[in-house]
Every structure is written in C-alpha cells, then in structure tokens.
C-alpha cells in the first residue's frame, strides 16, 4: 500500500530535508516517527527537498507499507513521535503510480521579508531581514521579466544537479503587508536556490541598488556568478504542491497570515 502525507515544519532546527549523517534533518525525524507507527522501517520520498533553515507549510511525501492503519492513525501516531517543529497534517492512501515528486505539476514557494532599520528578535528565523527601504513597485516590475519559460542558469546554485536549467514560472507576485514584503513564486519546478536567488535580485532592485531591468539582464547572462546575492534560507516557505485531481489529495485553505 502507498500512503501520501502532508507535512508542515519549521526548518530552523534542521540541516534541511534530506537525511545526512550526524545532523538533524526533517526526513530522518519523519521516517523514525512513521517507522514506529508502521512497526517496520519506513523510507519516504518528498515532493521537493528543502535546504537548512527553510520551512514548509505543506510538504508532500509518499511511502510504501504493508501495515494496515486508518488515516488518522498515521497522522496522530506520527505526531506523537515527532519533535514539535514537525507536524503531519493529513494522510491518504494513493494509487501505486503516485509519486510525491514526479506526479507534481506545479509548486509554490513564498519568500517573506521583514523590512525595517532594526533587526528582528523572535522573527529572526521566520523571515529575512532587510534594513534598506524596499520599493515593492520596482520589485513587481522586475518580476515580470522572469515570467514564462526561460533558462534560469543565472538563478540556480552552481552546485545544482538538475539536468536542464529551463523552468516555467507561472506566477511571481510581490506584495507589501506593513513592514513585510512577500514574494510568491509558482512554477512547474524549481532549481537549487532558484527562489532565494530571485529574492536576492528583487531585494537589490527594491532597495534601489539596481533598476528593474537588471532582473532580465541577469537572466540573459545564464551565468550564476553575474547574479545577485542568495537571500537567506529562513525567509523561504514551501507553500503548496499541485497534483492531478485524480489523486484526490487534500488542498488546505490558504493561511490567513503572511505565512
């Protein structure tokens, strides 16, 4: 039997999603918790690996098991064995051809910037801090250059292992909420550090360091070394994974907060 889960986590205490020897990871915590519920070792596959410090409003994973459990037992049984920074939101049986990563056709990320002269305290690991005043209108103009299908080589990490740098961005919005500037990005898939590199370019443009056209100029170079600074990880949230309706996975309502 194949089971899909929706998972929420605060990435501040973890060295990313993927299991690594000697450091805490979200994957390791989830697999250990599910193994106790299933009473056998469980290995999960996620929709998208997140870096150290990155958060998720709804990561999606799947795993295979012979254990028969009701949906609520996977949810509450796992949560009873997970650290407080990780929570299973829902569980559903899915067809054998469902794959958390390869069945997805869109992903949405949110980047949250806290803009004020003085550094934050309790928000420090929940958003990126920008002391410079940001012009969200200039950031919005710059964002339009990145919509559509492009070679995003200049916006991916140099160590990115994706076979193709071509991605299609369907949505790239910049909205201000008081002292917060929020960037929402939706695409068919993302390259390593792609959202954080886009955020870094838009932040420099918003601060008046570069004109809006620079977003396109960076894209056209196809050279990462000519791009902007990679924005900090703790402002980044994996918001939603989109799947074909036939899998009938829960769609959680948009959160009323910035996150």
- As to burial, measured by CB atoms within 10 angstroms (0-12 exposed, 13-18 middle, 19+ buried), residue 27 is buried
CA atoms within 13 A on the CB side of 185: 29
- The two tokens of residue 33 are 């918790």
Tokens, residue 134: 């940001």
Q: What's the CA gap between 142 and 135, in Å, rounded? A: 11
Q: What is the CA radius of gyration of the chain?
A: 19
Task: Report the C-alpha gap between 214 and 145 in whole angstroms.
Answer: 9
CB distance 167 to 154 below 8 Å: no
Q: Compute the distance between CA of residue 136 and CA of residue 178 in angstroms, rounded to an integer.
A: 11
Q: For residues 110 and 187, what is the distance between their CA atoms, to the nearest angstrom?
A: 12
How many Cβ atoms from other residues are within 10 Å of residue 246's Cβ? Answer: 11
**Residues identified as active-site:** 51
Q: Could you give the CA distance from residue 142 to residue 155 in angstroms, rounded to a whole number?
A: 14
What is the phi/psi pair of residue 103, to 5°? -85, -15
User: Two tokens at 206?
Assistant: 């918003």
């Amino acid at each position: 039997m194949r089971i899909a889960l929706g998972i929420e986590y605060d990435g501040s205490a973890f060295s990313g999603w993927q299991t690594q020897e000697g450091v805490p990871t979200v994957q390791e915590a989830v697999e250990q918790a599910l193994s106790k519920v299933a009473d056998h070792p469980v290995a999960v596959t996620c929709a998208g690996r997140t870096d150290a410090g990155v958060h998720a409003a709804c990561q999606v994973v799947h795993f295979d098991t012979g254990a028969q459990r009701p949906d609520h037992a996977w949810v509450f049984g796992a949560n009873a064995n997970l650290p407080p920074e990780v929570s299973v939101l829902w569980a559903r049986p899915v067809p054998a051809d469902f794959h958390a990563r390869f069945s997805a056709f869109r992903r949405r990320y949110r980047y949250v910037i806290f803009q004020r002269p003085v550094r934050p305290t309790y928000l420090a690991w929940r958003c990126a801090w920008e002391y410079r005043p940001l012009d969200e209108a200039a950031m919005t103009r710059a964002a339009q250059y990145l919509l559509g299908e492009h070679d995003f080589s200049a916006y991916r990490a140099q160590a990115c292992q994706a076979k193709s740098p071509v991605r299609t961005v369907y949505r790239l919005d910049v909205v201000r909420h008081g002292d917060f500037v929020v960037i929402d990005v939706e695409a068919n898939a993302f390259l390593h550090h792609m959202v954080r590199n886009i955020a870094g370019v838009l932040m420099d443009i918003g601060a008046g360091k570069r004109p809006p056209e620079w977003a396109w100029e960076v894209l056209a170079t196809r050279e990462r070394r000519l791009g902007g600074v990679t924005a900090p990880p703790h402002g980044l949230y994996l918001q939603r994974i989109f799947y074909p309706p036939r899998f009938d996975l829960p769609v959680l309502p948009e959160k009323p907060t910035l996150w």
